[in-house]
Structure 1
Amino acid sequence: MKRWVKWAVALVIVLLIAGGVLRALSARKAQQQALAASSAAPDMGLVELAATDVVKAQVREVVQGLPVSGSLKAVNSALIKARVAGELQGLTVREGDVVKAGQVIARIDAAEYQSRVRQAREQAESAKAQVDVVQRQYDNNKALVDQGFISKTALDTSLANLNAAQSTYKAALAATDVAAKSVDDTILKAPISGQVSQRLAQPGERVGIDTKIVEIVDLSRLELEATLSASDSMDVRVGQSASLKIEGSRKQVNAVVARINPSAQAGSRSVLAYLTIDNPGVSGTTGEGSAPPLRQGLFAQGTLGTAQASLLSVPVSAVRTDKPTPYLQAVENGVVVHKSVELGARGNAGGDEVVAVKGLADGALVVRGEIGALREGTKVRFTQQAPAAAAPGPAASAAAKPAP
Structure 2
Amino acid sequence: MRSLLHILLALMVAAAAPAGADEPLKVTAIRAATIEFNRRMGLTGEIAARETLSAAFPTGGRITSISVNDGDRVEDGAELARIDRVQQEQALRSAKAQLAAASAELTAARDNEARQSQLFERGATTRATRSAATDRLAAAAARQAQAEAELNQAESALEDTVLLAPNSGTVIKRLAEPGQIVGAAQPVLQLALGDRYEAVFNVPEAVLNFGTAAHAPPPITLSPLDRPNVTVSGTVREVSPLVDPASGTVKVKVAMAHPLTGLSYGDAVRGGTEQTDGSGIALPWSALTATSQGPAVWVVDKADSTVSLRQIAVSRYTSDSILVESGLDEGEIVVSLGAQLLYPGRVVRYEEPAQ
TM-superposition CA deviations, 1:119-147 (whole Å, max 9, x none): 32222122111100001111111112222
Structure 2 counterpart SS, 1:105? strand
Report the identity percentage. Answer: 17
TM-superposition CA deviations, 1:70-111 (whole Å, max 9, x none): 999855222222333443233254445554543322122334
* Counterpart selection for 1:220 from 179, 192, 197: 197
Structure showing the higher strand proportion among its residues: 2
TM-superposition CA deviations, 1:150-194 (whole Å, max 9, x none): 222222222221111111111111111111112221221233455
Return closer, same or farther for 1:200/1:293 CA change in 2, 3 Å cut-off: closer
Match of 1:164 in 2: 139
Asked whether the 8 Å contact 1:74–1:223 carries over to 2, the reply is: no
**What is the CA–CA distance in structure 1 between the aligned matches of 2:123 and 2:141, rounded to whole Å?**
27
Match of 1:255 in 2: 236
Structure 2 counterpart SS, 1:380? coil
* Counterpart selection for 1:103 from 78, 87, 95: 78
Match of 2:95 in 1: 120
**What is the CA–CA distance in structure 2 between the aligned matches of 1:33 and 1:96, rounded to whole Å?**
85
Letter of the 1:212 counterpart: P
Give yes or no for the alignment of 1:290 onto 2:261: yes
Match of 2:256 in 1: 279
Match of 1:202 in 2: 177
**What is the CA–CA distance in structure 1 between the aligned matches of 2:140 and 2:234, rounded to whole Å?**
68
Gaps of 5+ in 2: 39-44, 243-250, 298-309, 317-322, 340-349
RMSD across aligned C-alpha pairs, in angstroms? Answer: 6.0
Match of 1:23 in 2: 6
Q: How many residues align?
A: 295
* TM-score, normalised via structure 2 length: 0.56
User: Higher RCO, 1 or 2 (CA under 8 Å, sep at least 6)?
Assistant: 2
Asked whether the 8 Å contact 2:61–2:83 carries over to 1, the reply is: yes
Letter of the 1:158 counterpart: A
Alignment of 1:1-400 (within 5 A): 16=1, 19-26=2-9, 28-29=11-12, 42=25, 44=27, 75-218=50-193, 220=197, 236=213, 242-243=217-218, 253-256=234-237, 277-280=254-257, 282=259, 289-290=260-261, 292=263, 360=330, 377=350, 380-381=353-354
Asked whether the 8 Å contact 1:121–1:176 carries over to 2, the reply is: yes
**What is the CA–CA distance in structure 1 between the aligned matches of 2:26 and 2:104, rounded to whole Å?**
111
Return closer, same or farther for 1:278/1:146 CA change in 2, 3 Å cut-off: same
Letter of the 1:253 counterpart: G
**What is the CA–CA distance in structure 1 between the aligned matches of 2:116 and 2:188, rounded to whole Å?**
59
Asked whether the 8 Å contact 2:238–2:254 carries over to 1, the reply is: no
Return closer, same or farther for 1:157/1:275 CA change in 2, 3 Å cut-off: farther
**What is the CA–CA distance in structure 1 between the aligned matches of 2:238 and 2:55, rounded to whole Å?**
29
Return closer, same or farther for 1:151/1:113 CA change in 2, 3 Å cut-off: same
Asked whether the 8 Å contact 1:222–1:296 carries over to 2, the reply is: no
Structure 2 counterpart SS, 1:220? strand
Asked whether the 8 Å contact 1:279–1:294 carries over to 2, the reply is: no
Return closer, same or farther for 1:114/1:198 CA change in 2, 3 Å cut-off: same
Return closer, same or farther for 1:59/1:201 CA change in 2, 3 Å cut-off: closer
Letter of the 2:261 counterpart: S
TM-superposition CA deviations, 1:242-280 (whole Å, max 9, x none): 22669998877312579x99xxx9xxxxxxxx9874234
**What is the CA–CA distance in structure 1 between the aligned matches of 2:14 and 2:157, rounded to whole Å?**
100
